[in-house]
Amino acid sequence: MTDTSFQDMTDFEDADRGFVTALKPGVVKDASGRVVWDSDAFAHLMSDPAPATVNPSLWRQGALCARQGLYEVTDGVYQIRGLDLSNMTLVEGERGVVVVDPLVSAETAAAGLGLYRRHRGERPVTAVIYTHPHIDHFGGVMGVIGEGDEVPIVAPEHFMRHAVSENVYAGTAMIRRGMYFSAFGTPVGPEGQIGMGLGMATSSGSVGLIPPTLEITRTGQEEVLDGVRFVFQMTPGTEAPAEMNFFLPERRALCMAENACHTLHNLLTLRGAQVRDARVWSRYINEAIELFGDSADVVYASHHWPVWGRERILTFLSEQRDLYAYLHDQALRMMNTGYTGIEIAEAIELPPALAQAWHARGYYGSVSHDVKAVYQRYMGWFDGNPAHLWQHPPQAQGERYVRALGGAEKALEAAREFAADGDLRFAAELASHIVFAAPEHRGARDLLADVLTRLGHGAECSTWRNFFLQGAHELRNPITHTAIALASSMTSALSVTQAFDSLAIRVNGPRAWAERLSILWRITDLAETYRMELSNGALIHHPDPKDTRADLTLTLTKPQLLGLLGGRGLDGIEHEGDVGVLTRLLGLLDEPDPDFAIVTP
């Protein structure tokens, strides 16, 4: 891309179009006064030139994402942008407003809704839509409605299954990796955080979930919410396992959820998730063109800024479509000629038209890790080389590399030479081996931190930059405490099976090998019965058991069940049998560690 192309102002004009007002100051606090969001910290991106410590293309993206406030998309459709990682869309109806994707935290969602109401009136929230089950699209729901509010909550089929899978089952690991994904512990500024490519950062307020009351199950399904007609398109397996776009025919406005944004997205996010399907992603974008392309005057998404005008919309969507199809098909072509995922990532090039399209650049995803994800989806973790079938884990590898190189000092000298020669990638790999072999070696930690910093400052992909810089930060400082925790309202949204699953994944298998116990759970408010059995270290449960014999029978409501699993005890719960069984079971559970080490052993 030529230097002059950085002067293209079209995106900046689109990002500013429809601006109504900003939140001033751009700071959101929780009830205790703790700052959970600070958009003002990123305001310098919009006025300062790109420094040497930031890739100029990524700085440009940051300047676009740093804009915050209330924006009019089209008549009766508004967005809150720049007050969290995602956008919150507000569709005006006959009696009030339909809220789409209420941000990460209740505090930022409430602040955004308040900003809207100050300029559009005290309209009640008449419906909520979750486009998909990522936390930045539902976590702030308690900031726009309460649990007892009788409004429809609309989501794609299987929303709850995947919301729980990502945010509860693997939630601790994903949120910890998410600290690197967002560089949460590094200071905001040219040396550190300058955004996430998809938005600036994630808020750190109260996260909740109110389960959907209306499922969208098929493309073409129409629902009238507060007098507004919504036409839905199901897009499972794209940016999320359960996702949907929707079209507003009377507003001629197409919402692409997170399926077409101003960046190459992730096929496998670095924070961890299920691998996404680039093939169907491309096909669903093409289906959106077929279904709505001739009728839409504006296309907008749950991140970034809209695109207006028929010709520009079709160009934008078709290039996004081609981007995912190309990565998928070329990765398969090269895979079938013997290339591994790492080799494909080094060799693949985008067509010039896509490489030069700003919205196709890798600010959030990257060509490199996306084609590795395609390889993983089809071939798994193993590249077929038997030498890679049974490798040592990182600490054992590090010890052997250091020994083979003649000790930590000689290995460190070699790593410094690679760094001095500009081979930062191998310098980082070698220095990491030393750190894992000798975690307290200050010279190795300092060199690795320096190399990771240099890699971060050169990265166009924001999430790569953030991983590099957060790793450097944690080599020099204590591990950053994970600030985001799932609120009790997230737990209350779980089904009984999901609550029991959450218990089962905490059982310490080796300590439970010799234990055998059984519990019968009678959930009175749901009229459900479950039998739970622990054997061979596995905690199994199933509904409507034929055999109702058990060491302990508990009769209780679902709220009492959740309270019991949360440590509140048996007060008020009817029980029969050996209550010691419950103590034995709870004694076998491990507590998740939200602050586990990543860049060190």
For residues 549-562, give the mean pLDDT. Answer: 95
- Does residue 231 surpass a pLDDT of 60? yes
- 318 CB-contact burial (10 Å; exposed 0-12 / middle 13-18 / buried 19+): middle
pLDDT at 489 over 70: no
CATH code for the domain in which residue 113 is found? 3.60.15.30
One domain for residues 424 and 563: no
**Residue 6, domain member (yes or no):** no
Q: Average pLDDT in the 577-587 region?
A: 95
Is residue 6's pLDDT more than 60? no
How would residue 487 be classed by pLDDT, with cut points 50, 70 and 90? very low
Q: What is the pLDDT of residues 62-91, one digit of tens each?
A: 999 999 999 999 999 999 999 999 999 999
- Ramachandran region, residue 90 (left: φ > 0; alpha: ψ -120 to 50; beta: rest): beta
pLDDT of residue 169: 82
Domain endpoint, select from 447, 476, 505: 476
On whether both 392 and 292 belong to a single domain, the answer is: no
> Could you tell me the maximum CA-CA distance found in the chain, to the nearest angstrom?
78
Q: Are residues 141 and 234 in the same domain?
A: yes
Q: How much is the average pLDDT of 168-187?
A: 88
| Confidence (pLDDT) at 450 | 98
What sections of 205-309 are H helices per DSSP?
278-292
User: In this model, does residue 299 exceed pLDDT 90?
Assistant: yes
Instruction: Spell 499-516 as b/e; 16+ CB within 10 A means b.
Output: bbbbbbeebeeeebeebe
Closest by CA position to 515, among listed 540, 497, 498, 496:
540
Please write the tens of the pLDDT for every residue from 461-471.
Answer: 999 999 999 99
Residue ending a domain, among 449, 476, 503, is: 476
Residue 288 inside a domain? The answer is yes
538-566: b or e for each residue (b if 16 or more CB lie within 10 Å)? Answer: ebebeeebeeeebbbbbebebebbbbbbe
Residue 217 has pLDDT above 80, yes or no: yes
Question: Is the residue at 557 inside a domain?
Answer: yes
How long a stretch of residues is the chain?
601
**Opening angle at CA 64, ends 59 and 70, nearest 5:** 150
pLDDT band at 485; cut points 50, 70, 90: low
Residues 185 and 305 in one domain: yes
Bridge partners (DSSP) of residue 107 are: none
The predicted pLDDT at position 2 comes to 36
When divided into structural domains, the chain yields a total of 3
Q: pLDDT by residue (tens digit) across 86-105?
A: 999 999 999 999 999 999 99
Res. 435: pLDDT tops 90? yes
**Mean pLDDT, rounded, of the chain:** 95
**CA 586/CA 554 separation, integer angstroms:** 15
In the chain, % of residues over pLDDT 70: 98
The predicted pLDDT at position 3 comes to 41
- The reply to whether 142 and 206 lie within a common domain is yes
150: which 2 tokens?
């009788």
Q: Is residue 486 very low, low, confident or very high in pLDDT (cuts 50, 70, 90)?
A: low
pLDDT > 70? residue 114: yes
Q: Which of 129-133, 409-413, 491-495 has the lowest mean pLDDT?
A: 491-495
CATH of the domain at 453: 1.25.40.880
107/165 same-domain check: yes
pLDDT for the residue 253? 98
Q: Are residues 70 and 190 in the same domain?
A: yes
Domain identity same for 449 and 569 = no
Q: Specify if 102 maps to a domain.
A: yes
Q: Does the residue 444 lie in any domain?
A: yes
pLDDT score of 136: 95
Paired with 92 in beta bridges are: 97
Q: Return the minimum-mean-pLDDT range out of 186-195, 321-330, 402-411, 561-570.
A: 561-570
**Residue-wise pLDDT tens digits, 21-31:** 999 999 999 99
Q: Which of 493, 491, 585 is nearest to 540 (CA)?
A: 585
Residue 382 lies in a domain: no
500 and 418 belong to one structural domain: no
Q: Give the whole-angstrom CA distance, residue 289 versus residue 283.
A: 10
Phi, psi for 254 (deg, rounded to 5): -110, 120
Local confidence band at 9 (pLDDT 50, 70, 90 cut-offs):
confident
Kindly tell me if the per-residue pLDDT of 343 is higher than 60.
Answer: yes
Residue 4 confidence class, pLDDT cut points 50, 70, 90: very low
Residue 8 binned pLDDT confidence (cut-offs 50, 70, 90):
confident
Q: What is the CATH number of the domain that holds 557?
A: 3.30.1050.10
Question: Mean of the pLDDT values across residues 567-573?
Answer: 90
pLDDT in tens, 499-534: 999 899 999 999 999 999 999 999 999 999 999 999
Residue 487 lies in a domain: no
562 and 446 assigned to the same domain: no
pLDDT at residue 306 in the model: 98
Same-domain check for residues 461 and 498: no
**Within-domain flag for 337:** no
pLDDT in the model for residue 7:
56
Do 204 and 285 fall within a single domain?
Answer: yes
Give the separation between CA 278 and CA 270, rounded to whole angstroms.
16
pLDDT of residue 361: 97
Share of the chain above pLDDT 90, in %: 90
Residues 151, 252: Cα–Cα separation, whole Å:
25
Domain ranges, residue 507: 494-586
